[in-house]
Structure formats: C-alpha cells, structure tokens
Amino acid sequence: MERRRITFRRLFTRHFIWVPLLPLAITIGLSLFALHELRKADRLDLHGAEAVAQVIARDIRTSRDRDGRTQTEYRVEYRFQPSSGDAVTTRRSVNRATYNAVAPGDEIPVRYVLHDPQINEIEPGQSRRIGRILAAIAVPFGLCALVALIWVGRRKARLFRAVWLGEVRQARITEHEVLNVQVNGRTQYRLHWLDAAGQSGRSGMHDYHDLPAVGEVIVVYVDPRSGLGWWEADI
C-alpha cells in the first residue's frame, strides 16, 4: 500500500513530543540566571570595593500567583558614589529584616565592582545566595526534563519507525471498546483491529462518531521492531 507522507511537525504537535521541552526550557532559563548571579558574586569577590550608600526610598510590592497566594517583595532604592565615574542609583529586592532596618536618608554600606559599579549589593553575599538557590531549583526541573526525554524517546521511537520505516497494512475492525473515560462530557471509545498479517492492534481514544463501523477496513502502520501498529487516523 502507498505510504502517506507524514511530517515530523505533525508528529511533534499531535503526539506530545514537545512535553520534555517545557522543563528543559525552565532548566536552561534558571541555569543561565544562576550562572549570571554567580558570576556577579565572583566579580564582587575579585574586584569588590566598599562605599557608603544613601537610602532614597523603600517600597513593598504584593502580587498574587495563579493559586491565589500572596507574594510580597521588599525593595530598597539607594545611591552611592564609586571611586571613579558618576553616582550610581540602584533599586534592589532585599529580605524583610533589611527592609525594616533602613529608612530614607539612612546611610548603609554597599559593595560594588570597581570597573562596573552597576554590579553591587547591600546584603553581603546576596548574589551568591540567589545563584545557589536558582541552581538548586533548576536541578529537579532538569531531572524532569531527562525523565520526560527518556519516556518520549522510548515510546515515540516506535511510532517514528512505524511511520517512516514500517509496513503499511490493511486491517479490519473487530470491536469498539467502551472506555471509562469522558472528554468534554462525552464517553470515549477505542477500536480494535486484526491486520492482514494476522496481528491485532488498538487505537487511541476517540468519540464514538469518529470511529468507522465494525467490519470496515482501515490502514495501519506497523513498527518493524516491536510489531506495534498505529491506525492512520491516530498518526
């Protein structure tokens, strides 16, 4: 039988091959941010200088996440004069204790990078702590991405072989199986078949009106290694 042309893009979107990319993207983003903060910390250690900053203002920002939980951010704005160049004004998120300990007009110590005063901190070690926290958060997302990649790779490799290398066969529908699953309030069904080589198979979930009648002939693609088949409409 003639093999229908099926693109990788179709398989990618219809068969959830994109799932591992979600935790992978989060892992990469967190890792890059963590690396950025750790590099800032290294620069402060290697090229750090001390100065006195004046607190200009402070404020509290509150927001709600998707679960309705309130998140609070404490911010302090301050200005300092580095040993060379113009004065630098910075607004930084701080912990609650630091926020409560300062007020506009107060003078506080600040540490900055000599050749790049925009890199500075008023809480000693803040950049390194943030970097380590982000790196720690990235680890479980990385593990999730790895597990998802292995799962998708093992399961979908059989589908790829069936689509691009497997035998295309005719199969006759032998049964409509009623599933204990509903989608949008509609009971789902699965069809069973027996193909021309005598191998049985079954489809994915479908609404009943999407299934051909028992006894009708369909086209299936069979993985040459595992022998598993996929109904053409499921690919």
Domain edge (last residue) among 118, 138, 158: 138
User: E strands along the chain, which residues?
Assistant: 48-64, 70-80, 88-94, 107-113, 116-121, 167-183, 186-195, 200-202, 206-207, 217-222, 229-231
CB 142 within 8 A of CB 30: no
pTM for the whole structure:
0.71
Q: Which tops the pLDDT comparison, 152 or 208?
A: 208
With a pLDDT cut of 90, the percent of the chain lying above it is 75
> Mean per-residue pLDDT for 217-229?
92
Tokens of 2: 């003639």
**pLDDT at 124 > cutoff 80:** yes
CATH code: domain of residue 99: 2.40.50.660
> Mean per-residue pLDDT for 164-174?
92
**pLDDT at 68 > cutoff 90:** no
Look at residue 152 in the predicted model and tell me its pLDDT. 83
DSSP label of 140? H
Residues 44 and 121 in one domain: yes
Domain edge (last residue) among 138, 157, 182: 138
Average pLDDT, the chain: 92
Residues 72 and 120 in one domain: yes
Residues 121 and 181 in one domain: no
> Mean per-residue pLDDT for 120-124?
95
| Residues in a beta bridge with 34 | none
Look at residue 87 in the predicted model and tell me its pLDDT. 95
Please tell me the least confidently modeled range out of 12-26, 47-61, 180-194, 195-209: 12-26
Residues 134 and 188 in one domain: no
CATH code: domain of residue 193: 2.40.50
| Percent helix, strand and coil across the chain, each to the nearest 5 | 35, 40, 25
Q: Is residue 47 part of a domain?
A: yes
pLDDT-derived band at 13 (thresholds 50, 70, 90) equals: confident
Tokens of 16: 């959830």
Look at residue 1 in the predicted model and tell me its pLDDT. 66
Look at residue 64 in the predicted model and tell me its pLDDT. 84
Mind listing the pLDDT tens digit for each residue in 73-95? 999 999 999 998 899 999 999 99
Question: Cα–Cα distance between 202 and 190 in angstroms, integer?
Answer: 7
CB 66 within 8 A of CB 134: no
> Mean per-residue pLDDT for 167-184?
94
pLDDT-derived band at 2 (thresholds 50, 70, 90) equals: low
Pseudo-torsion of CA 140, 143, 145, 146, nearest 10°?
180
| Residues in a beta bridge with 93 | 75
CB atoms within 10 A of CB 182: 9
Residues 109 and 51 in one domain: yes
| Domain range for 229 | 166-234
Residue labelled with tokens 């540490």 = 111
**What is the DSSP annotation of 199-234?**
-EEE---EEGGGSPPTT-EEEEEE-TTT--EEEGGG
What domain count does the chain have?
Answer: 2
Alpha-carbon 122 to chain mean position: 32
> Mean per-residue pLDDT for 36-57?
96
Which amino acid makes up residue 184? N
